[in-house]
Amino acid sequence: MNATKARSAAAPRRRPKVMVDDAQRRRLIECCAFFRAERFRAAEPGHFREQDWRAAAADIDAVLRPARKRKKR
């Protein structure tokens, strides 16, 4: 193993910072909610439930904002 590979293997991998505005976040949640509804109930476009929206929002927020507990360590 050469020095470059050893250095890159030991270096921590950083997640790229993602900047998403409110409109983009809403669109991501909308798409995620639709796919959740389609997967679990074969929903038609635009016909998803509030529970789909809330679950999708939680999923998207979890991806966009790393857990604060990890930052404190």
Tell me whether residue 47 is in a domain. Answer: yes
Kindly give the confidence (pLDDT) of every residue in the chain, 73 residues in length, as a single tens digit, with 9 standing for 90 and above: 555 565 556 666 776 666 788 999 999 999 999 888 888 777 566 667 888 899 999 999 998 886 444 444 5
pTM: 0.60
Tell me whether residue 8 is in a domain. Answer: no
Task: Please give the tally of structural domains in the chain.
Answer: 1
Task: Round to whole Å and give the CA distance between 29 and 64.
Answer: 11
- CA 35 to chain CA mean position, Å: 14
Query: Angle at Cα 53 formed by Cα 51 and Cα 59, nearest 5°?
Result: 105
Q: What is the pLDDT of residue 37?
A: 85
Tell me whether residue 32 is in a domain. Answer: yes
